[in-house]
Chain A
């Protein structure tokens, strides 16, 4: 193990390490802690210039109540859910199939199709912006959740296929061959042999894509406008415009907007990290 385990160090060094840990963490999360404190302060603190002192009163319920019952935030949150969930399902389904095809079958253009997905996943969004916006307008899907979902599914398929294909490659191939010898149809092999083995990959991708799509901002402002279709990342800017300089409300709004992926991460931590670090070890 590297660095040398702290248990082998002298007692003062161990104590020093254990005191440094929380200090380092507080420094690391300082900007976030500041926002959390802002979100429970009363408005009067800000007008009186008490930005960093002790909160004048505890206004957690008032501030978050404002966000939930007195603004468009719930609508934006609902939009985000309605955009994110179908995208996760669509992208995972498409890429499970594509990953199966690329991971199991040997055909001449296999690696080129695979590289097309990988390369497409790396391109800057801006090169797609004008044509995709145009296409969405032509389809009559501008400023709809469907328009955003269709694009997200397509784009995320690149990353997901890379992920799925590498995962399927690592599965025991004799299993598939055995099924073939038995005369099992190819699509049944996918459904009954490969898919059950892919559960960890499906879970990892689902949480990752959920976070990526929930946090998307660029496409939200390119393809939608207004509270009918905009997700919460874009909505938070209009929310902030509405409550300009009301830092307690803006902070509470930001925390609410950030919460679902955070919950997702803490609940599904193992899958989340497995997904992010795929390929980080041989």
Chain B
């Protein structure tokens, strides 16, 4: 009976998805909404039937890339993985993503790996107790949306407390590390983090003004996977008592750390089947997610597009910036970007001092220009329309690599245009 109902509901949902697409929509949330109305337990039942259940990934920074990493690592280990596409961070988005993949009302997968927005994570875990949870960090992001960091931490703490099998925590983020004491009885806690020598490459929000307050399992603890060395794309991961080197296809120290997080969650899921050497090898081949350091080839040169959404993410992105490339920075203030742009003042723009030119754009392009100039970085031009600015930027720097840093909604606009312009599409 349940099977028949699930099949019927999923058929209705798929019908709505087709109708939405015919009307020119993206078919994203509406089918999920219809299905949830028809059957509020649809998703719980669907994910509950998966052999390995559901793994959720949340935190301020790195959700999208880490979800992509875990998905590909598990696939490399032979699992069939259901995941939600970037941007659909909500239960309805997950339902909508699941609909086209259903066979007779069942999801044809071993496990679901889901990126969860902090604001929706609690609602989700109350509906569906995940077997695994990976919590990456709590940083200043969109305080106009969530209020305060401590509030965001409380939301994530409920995710940790809701997991039934294993929880993976950031050992270097005190707001995350303290969740270790709040997990259900019998739940395994494991860790990821950075090695002592890398502290300078990973400034924390607190570390900007206060002495480091690091907590969690020590870098050598067996239950922790540590990013122990990093030089450009050359990363080394300490797993157990061995070091595993990798040349990453991903860009920036933050993504190297996301790699450690993904390895730790994959180990928690696979248990004894986890093969460190094979997994680190698989990790080295994963490329950037949507707009997260993505490279576009334009007229025989490279443009790197990097999403920035909060101070620590922007600082890390600048730490990995090309100091000799012309630079465009796009800042919007829509809800998805965060209405409040004051966080730009918590970023040090000195790493751009050597760039031959810096231009700014976006609704808050003048805020960005003002910020740069107070750091002694002259801004060549400010054009609020990102597409006009991009054309001028590319025309002003016709050869050689260039880089673009952008908040979320401006990134969507720029990326769509860059895909049109790219020689062979994004790589």
Partners in one complex: no
Q: What is B's interface to A at a CB cutoff of 8 Å?
A: none
Q: What is A's interface to B at a CB cutoff of 8 Å?
A: none
